[in-house]
Amino acid sequence: MTPRLFKQVDVFTSTPYLGNPLAVVLDGSGLDDEAMQRFARWTNLSETTFLLPPTDVSADYRVRIFTPGGELPFAGHPTLGSCHAWLQAGGQPKSRDFIVQECKVGLVKVRREGTRLAFAAPPLKRSAPSPMLLPRVAAALGLKAHQILAVQQLDNGPVWLGLLLDSPDTVLQLNINHLALQALQVHIGVAAVYPAAEAAPLIARANREARAFGQTTLPTAALAQAPDLEVRAIVASTTVYEDPVTGSLNAGLAQWLMADGHMPERYLASQGLCLGRAGQVHLERDAQGQVWVGGDSVTCIDGQVMLGSN
């Protein structure tokens, strides 16, 4: 076993313990796949990352991303959290404009936006889902047909079934049959737009919803900016039913919803209220059409972990 620098980072929040946690092993050299997977199962977080020297000369570092059940080609909150940890540990990017991360989906650019980081959303493959699938998904979520305004399958490494619903209340009050979703083996991203008149009283609204779901009142500092979109990520898993704040899903939703005129070129998404979190994801499409997915990160645990391959 070798002592390795380790951080646990909370992503998509500037307030510790209200975002999506990520375990980051800052030196994954010499660890085989089994050792990485074993540690990811042990942390039991949605993702654990291992930083490695890049194999592409244009990249600053390479990252491998593991869930408790397997490796991912790309994921959003591990991208921002890993970059945050790498920079905090003294990483020096080759470019003045971007940090370049290498992962299984390819090279991903990350830019600084003040203290916040934002990654360039990977190319999105969009398609219509099977007509036979949608009624079964709707039933598993407790939705009526008229509550679904639009639907699209989104693939940017992870694959999500994106549903645009009629209101944020519908998103927050889903009646989910997780056993039915596990049988369907589909990951679902649900979203709804806040009308301008409803977005303003965010703090009272979020605290009311949190209490309704048995959560404690959220700190007002974490809810200071009213969102434009409410998002939930429902996953077909036997261990994790819902992801607190999801970069890849928000990237795919933004590319879809902006392209189809449902959202403007810059907006703020809220995610995690039903889990007692206050995730905020900043989405922007630049003049070249590139969508950027941004969020704050904060380090909660900083130390060493003992790890080695058997």
User: Which positions are annotated as active-site residues?
Assistant: 47
The two tokens of residue 282 are 């900043």
- Measure the CA dihedral 192/209/216/201, to 10°: 80
The two tokens of residue 171 are 């998103």
Task: Return d(Cα 76, Cα 248) in angstroms, integer.
Answer: 5
Torsion 9-11-13-18 (CA) sign = negative
